[in-house]
Amino acid sequence: MGKHKKEQEAAPKGYVPMLVGREGAAERLLVRAELLNHPAVAGLLEMAAQEFGYRQHGVLRIPCDVEAFHRVVKVAAAGKTGVR
């Protein structure tokens, strides 16, 4: 139950919680909602949809290496804080 409670914690306004990584090695990250429209981030969302479908329940899961995800968000943020 502890893991699920952590996954369901409320995100601050303007942020979207995501679980990034593969099962067992996923990390919960908060991403600014405005970055979801960036083509690089949209590509990751499409990859998640292909693997998990469009009707994920709970926290959005992204099947991507955590370090690669951080690089994509950094590019998308273009100098703005994107991940907390």
The answer to the question of residue 13 being in a domain is yes
Task: Say how far apart CA 3 and CA 65 lie, in whole Å.
Answer: 20
In a domain, 61, yes or no: yes
State which residues form the domain around 11: 2-77
Establish if 32 belongs to a structural domain: yes
pLDDT tens digits, 14-34: 999 999 998 778 999 999 999
- At 8 the pLDDT is 55
Look at residue 57 in the predicted model and tell me its pLDDT.
84
Position 82 scores a pLDDT of: 44
**Which residue in the block uniquely carries the two structure tokens 């926290």?**
59
Number of compact structural domains in the chain? 1
Is 82 inside any structural domain?
no
Query: Has residue 64 been placed in a domain?
Result: yes
Considering the chain, what is the average pLDDT of its residues? 84
Query: Which tens digits make up the pLDDT trace of 42-83?
Result: 999 999 999 989 888 888 999 999 999 999 999 999 744 444
Contacts of 22 (CB under 8 A, 6+ apart): 63
List, in sequence order, every residue forming a beta bridge with 18; answer none if it has no partner. Answer: 29, 60
Residue 84 lies in a domain: no
**For residue 41, pLDDT beyond 50:** yes
Is residue 18 in some structural domain?
yes
